[in-house]
Amino acid sequence: MAIRLTRIYTRRGDQGDTDLVGGTRVPKDGLRIEAYGAVDELNAAVGVARAVNAAELRRPPASRELDAILKRLQNELFDLGGELATPPAAFVPGMFRVGAAEVKALETVLDRCQKDLKPLKSFVLPGGGRVSAFLHVARTVCRRAERDVLRLMRSEDIGEWPLAYLNRLSDLLFVLSRWIGHHRGEREFLWERPLKREAERRAPAKRGVP
């Protein structure tokens, strides 16, 4: 489908409704609009992380790999947004749908990056380096998009894969935040209370107390 944008404002949405793919007019606060709007926000959050990664002066080779990963994710999120903006009646043969191949690809990247990381002894506090922090923001937006898609699934048949894709993507964004921080040599901050409990539990044993 050729895309050509020659005019940005149309005034057609001034009364609170908008077009889905195919021309159906729906309220802007409808479940389908909330779902693909959250995916659009997620795409923007990933774009910020990608821009910050590109702008950092101290960039390890992993930064180039991260840029390639995030670029692919942004394109896939645009695909997913288009899918969610298309009601069943407007789908035509050949239109893209997120499926098992896209979910499996996310898992492949997850597994590859996870091999570079040490097992966690507590939950990670969002932050660390700049790129890691923005990836954590993207992860939380992804979780919200996942909830919005779930609400849509309860009222319309959109298939199983959009939800599975977002679920796996939130995991990937978490791992990528740790992975790029590891390759940049940045400190990882952990939730301290479980660490303190573990230290207290081990302390008597170290003193020889049964």
C-alpha to C-alpha distance for 192 and 1, rounded to whole angstroms? 52
Burial 178-206 (b: 16+ CB within 10 A, else e): bbbbbbbebebeeeeeeeeeeeeeeeeee
Which pLDDT tens digit goes with each residue over 96-141?
Answer: 899 999 999 999 999 999 999 888 787 888 888 999 999 999 999 9
Task: State the DSSP string of 125-136.
Answer: PS-SSHHHHHHH
Output the pLDDT for position 18: 67
**Contact assessment for residue 179 and residue 62, using Cβ atoms and an 8 Å cutoff:** yes
Q: Where does 12-95 show beta strands of DSSP type E?
A: 17-19, 25-27
CB atoms within 10 A of CB 134: 22
**Contact assessment for residue 97 and residue 21, using Cβ atoms and an 8 Å cutoff:** no
Full-model pTM = 0.84
Torsion of CA 75, 76, 78, 80, to 10 degrees: 170
Which pLDDT tens digit goes with each residue over 29-49?
Answer: 779 899 999 999 999 999 999
